[in-house]
Structure 1
Amino acid sequence: MAITNTLHINFRGDAREALEFYHSVFGGDIIAVPYGDMPSGQGPGQADQIVWGQVSAPNGFQVMAYDVQDSLSWNPGENPFYHALRGTDAEEITGYFKALSEGATILVPLGPAVFSPLYGKLTDRFGVTWIIDVIAPYNG
């Protein structure tokens, strides 16, 4: 199985604009799912903001982005990104999550999510926040 290593950038209301910009630069496919399509702890005014988005281009460029929920702290430069580790094999992804969990703070236990059969989030012992998931096609 292959895994991908993708930059996941965190925004506060600018994720759609950023994804559209990266798409205009690199081409490929763009997905931008608003909070209104799959509520996930967002604030009352965030229905049109992005809960999950990505740009994937044939040349290998890939970036993910979302708008941080109003209930979470966010300061540009302080928590600007997550490290996304993605794959298609649930057993392999589970193994990576368990290994990275040593000494980590588990933010979201590995389990099913609306957009993935397995998704989890942790901050490792070095302070790097990882989102780890099994890739599933988005059928909007």
Structure 2
Amino acid sequence: MQVQPYLDFNGRCEEALNFYREVLSAKILLLKHYKDSPVPDMMPPQYNDKVMHAEFQIGESILMATDGHCVDNAQPPSGFSLSMEFSDAEQVRRLFDKLSNGGRIDMPLAPTFWSPLFGSLTDRFGISWYIGVETPAVQG
């Protein structure tokens, strides 16, 4: 069994996918708009160019995404974070800066007792990220 995150971007899915493609070298594997649905009256016409379903890859991870119901007063995603670890501190700094651009830094990059460099941020699309330098597994 595999669990995959399914992210709802509330009308900004394609913008988010392009951002992740630029910043994280994400690969868009599948992109379907509501207008591509075999059930044309599924959503009102203003949703035609919105993303019904997308799949994209960051590193070895596959994520899914949608514009959802594009509700104007929808709350940003909450209750989860996406986490990435890298062996190189410079890569962590670079990606942290790029992902936080237009977003919010929740915990600035700094050494912690669990990582030589770790920080958290919420990107411009409301997605929470934990980013750090990987540490060797503890033998026990």
Q: Same fold (TM over 0.5)?
A: no
Q: When you count strand as a share of all residues, which structure comes out higher?
A: 1
TM-score (norm. length: structure 2): 0.45
Whichever of the two has the greater Rg, that structure is 2
